Amino acid sequence: MAEKLKTAVIGYGKVAHLHAQALRSLPTSEFVAVCGRNAERAQAFAQQYGVAAFTSVAEMIERAGVQAVVICTPHPNHAAPAVEAARMGAHVLVEKPLASTLADCDTIIAAAEQAGVKLGVISQRRFYEPVQRVRQAIDAGKIGRPVLGTVVMYGWRDEAYYRSDPWRGQWMAEGGGVLVNQAPHQLDLLQWLMGPIEEVFGYWDNLNHPTIEVEDTAVAVLRFKNGGVGSIVVSNSQKPGIYGKVHIHGSNGASVGVQTEGGAMFIAGMSSILEPPYNDLWTVPGEEQLLEQWRAEDRAAFEQHRDPALHYLTLQNADFLDAILEDRPPAVTGQDGRVTVEIFTAIYRSQRDRAPVRFPVPADVGTEEFDGRLTKRS
C-alpha cells in the first residue's frame, strides 16, 4: 500500500475544486482540509469533499496534521499562506504563477528553504505527451542546439469571464492580465525548452478590453545564454480564440513544436480542454512521417480521460507528492516558477524603462508602481 500524505488546499475558488478532486483521487494523498478567509465559503467547500474547514493556515496544519498544501488563492495572495504553511513544516505546491511579483517569489522560496520543505509550482502542460516529446528530442540532440524559440498564443476572454470573479482584470487583485494569468504555461515551456535567459525586451497594452485595467496583449524578444533568440506574442484579444503554440528550432536546421491550446481554450473551473495538444511541427530527419501517427496516438489517449484538464493537473499533483516521499525535487521547482515571473516582470519593466532587462531580474522592492504596471507609457 502506498504511503499517504495528509493534504489540503488553501483557497476555495474554481481551480481549488480541480486540485481537491486530484488530491482526493491519488493513492499517495489523504485529502483532509481546506482553508480560506471566509468561514462560510470554506465550510461549503469542505462539505462538498467531506473534509475539515479552517480560516487559519497554522491551525489547519496543526489540528489536521497537514503535510502538504496547494495554494489556490488569487495571484497577489500566494505569499502569505505559502510562507505560513512552510514555517509550519508543510510542503507547498503553488498554482501558477508562483506570485505576481519577484519580491513575493523570493519570500516564498526563502521560507521553503529555511523550513526545509519542498516547493513546487503548477505548470501541468509540461506533462502533455507532445511537450514531453519535444523535450526528449532536444535532450537527445536531434535538433542540435536550440537557437530559436517562439511562443504564440492567440486567445479570447470576454466580459463574462472577467465578471466571474471580483478579482479578475484588476492590477492589485489579479496582478496582471494575459502575462500573469494565461501566458505563464507557455512562458514556462519556452524557458524549459530553450534554457536560461540573458535578456528580454517587450511591450504590452490593452487592445480591446475597455472594462478591465490589465493588459490583454504583450509581445517580447529574448536573448538566451546559449546564444539563441526567441519571441513571445500572447493575447486575449482574438475572438473566439485561435491557438497557443511553442516552437523550437535547432542549429542543425531541424524544428520541433507543439500546439498546447486549440481554439476552445481551457479556463480553469469554467471549461475543460476540448482539443488535444499535438505536435504541429516536426522536421527531425527521418521522423517527419511520424506526425500523423503521434497525433492519432495522442488523440486516443486524450479521449480516454473523462476530464483531460483534471488528468494533467492530477499528474503534477502526483509528481509533487512523490517528490516529497522520494526526497527529490519536483518536476517544476520554485526556482522554475521564479523564472516565469522574471519573464513577465521583464516585459513590464522594459516598456517602463524603454530598455532590455537583463537576467537574473532582481526584486523591485520599495516601489509603488508595480514593476511599471501602474505607470504605463503610451
Q: State pTM to two decimals.
A: 0.95
Whether 67 and 37 have beta carbons less than 8 Å apart is answered as: no
Whether 228 and 145 have beta carbons less than 8 Å apart is answered as: yes
Beta strands in 266-321 (DSSP E): 278-282
Q: What single letter denotes the amino acid at residue 281?
A: L
User: CA 289 to CA 189: how far, in whole Å?
Assistant: 25
User: CA 311 to CA 127: how far, in whole Å?
Assistant: 10
Whether 248 and 191 have beta carbons less than 8 Å apart is answered as: no
Whether 339 and 191 have beta carbons less than 8 Å apart is answered as: yes
In order of their start, the domains of the chain are 5-124+327-333 (3.40.50.720), 125-306 (3.30.360.10)
Encode the chain (378 residues) as per-residue pLDDT tens digits. Answer: 679 999 999 999 999 999 999 999 999 999 999 999 999 999 999 999 999 999 999 999 999 999 999 999 999 999 999 999 999 999 999 999 999 999 999 999 999 999 999 999 999 999 999 999 999 999 999 999 999 999 999 999 988 888 888 889 898 889 999 999 999 999 999 999 999 999 999 999 999 999 999 999 999 999 999 999 999 999 999 998 899 999 999 999 999 999 999 865 545 555 566 789 999 999 999 999 999 999 999 999 999 998 999 999 999 999 999 999 999 999 999 999 999 999 999 999 999 999 999 999 999 876 668 898 987 654
Q: What is the largest CA-CA distance in the chain?
A: 60
H-helix or E-strand spanning residue 303: helix 291-303
User: CA 346 to CA 356: how far, in whole Å?
Assistant: 8
User: CA 290 to CA 283: how far, in whole Å?
Assistant: 10
pLDDT of the residue at 378: 47
The residue whose grid cell reads 502542460 is 125
Whether 92 and 117 have beta carbons less than 8 Å apart is answered as: yes
Torsion on CA atoms 85, 88, 91, 92, rounded to nearest 10: 10
Q: Hey, how many other C-beta atoms are within 10 angstroms of the C-beta on 135?
A: 16
The residue whose grid cell reads 511553442 is 246
Burial 169-203 (b: 16+ CB within 10 A, else e): bbbebbbbbbbbbbbbbbbbbbbbbbbebbbbbbe
Angle between helices 39-49 and 14-25 (to 10 degrees): 30
pLDDT of the residue at 162: 86
Tens digit of each residue's pLDDT (9 = 90 or more) over 254-272:
999 999 998 655 455 555 6
The DSSP bridge partners found for residue 222 are 200, 230
